[in-house]
Structure 1
Amino acid sequence: MDVLRMSSEFAAEVLDVFDRSMTDKELVSQSKALCRDYIHSRLNQNGLGWSKAELNLPASNTALSEVSMVLLCLGDELECMRPSLYRNVARQLSISVAMENMVADAFIAVATEIFSTGITWGKVVSMYAVAGALAVDCVRQGQPATVHTLIDSLGQFVRKFLVSWLKRRGGWEEMTKCVVKRDFTPEHHWISSTIESLKYFLSTVYVYVMKEP
Structure 2
Amino acid sequence: MDVLRRSSAFAAEVLDVFDRSLTEKELVSQSKALCRDYILSRLNQNGLGWSKSELNLLPSSAALSEASLVLLCLGDELECMQPNLYKNVARQLNISVAMENMVSDAFISVSTELFSTGITWGKIVSMYAIAGALAVDCIRHGHPATVHIVVDSLGQFVRKFLVAWLKRRGGWAEISKCVVKRDLTPEQNWLSSAVESLKYFLTTVYVYVMKEQ
TM-score, normalised to structure 2, is 0.91
* Equivalent position amino acid for 1:55 in 2: L
Count of residue pairs brought into register by the alignment: 208
What are the superposed Cα offsets for residues 130-176 of structure 1, whole Å, 9 maximum, x if unpaired?
00000000000000000001100000000011111111111111111
CA contact (8 A) 2:115 2:123 kept: yes
The reply to whether residue 18 of structure 1 matches residue 16 of structure 2 is yes
The reply to whether residue 206 of structure 1 matches residue 209 of structure 2 is yes
The reply to whether residue 116 of structure 1 matches residue 116 of structure 2 is yes
CA contact (8 A) 1:90 1:137 kept: yes
* Equivalent position amino acid for 1:83 in 2: P
For residues 56 and 7 of structure 2, the distance between their equivalents in structure 1, rounded to whole angstroms, comes to 42
Counting aligned pairs with the same residue, the percent is 66
Q: Determine helix, strand or coil for the equivalent of 2:84.
A: helix
For residues 185 and 174 of structure 1, the distance between their equivalents in structure 2, rounded to whole angstroms, comes to 15
For residues 198 and 151 of structure 1, the distance between their equivalents in structure 2, rounded to whole angstroms, comes to 19
- What's the RMSD between the two structures over aligned residues? 1.8
What are the superposed Cα offsets for residues 184-212 of structure 1, whole Å, 9 maximum, x if unpaired?
1112222222223333321212223x26x
Q: How far apart are 1:13 and its partner, in Å?
A: 5.2
* Equivalent position amino acid for 2:6 in 1: S
For residues 100 and 132 of structure 1, the distance between their equivalents in structure 2, rounded to whole angstroms, comes to 16
Matches within 5 A, 1:1-213: 4=3, 8=6, 12=10, 15-21=13-19, 22-187=22-187, 188-208=191-211, 210=212
TM-score, normalised to structure 1, is 0.91
For residues 161 and 9 of structure 1, the distance between their equivalents in structure 2, rounded to whole angstroms, comes to 35
Q: Determine helix, strand or coil for the equivalent of 2:207.
A: helix
Q: Determine helix, strand or coil for the equivalent of 1:203.
A: helix
Q: Bigger CA drift: 196-205 or 96-105?
A: 196-205
Q: How far apart are 1:55 and its partner, in Å?
A: 0.1
Q: Judging changes above 3 Å, is the alpha-carbon distance between structure 1 residues 179 and 10 closer, same or farther for their aligned structure 2 residues?
A: farther
Gap runs ≥5 in structure 1? none
CA contact (8 A) 1:113 1:205 kept: no
What are the superposed Cα offsets for residues 76-105 of structure 1, whole Å, 9 maximum, x if unpaired?
000000111100000111111000000000
For residues 181 and 199 of structure 2, the distance between their equivalents in structure 1, rounded to whole angstroms, comes to 25
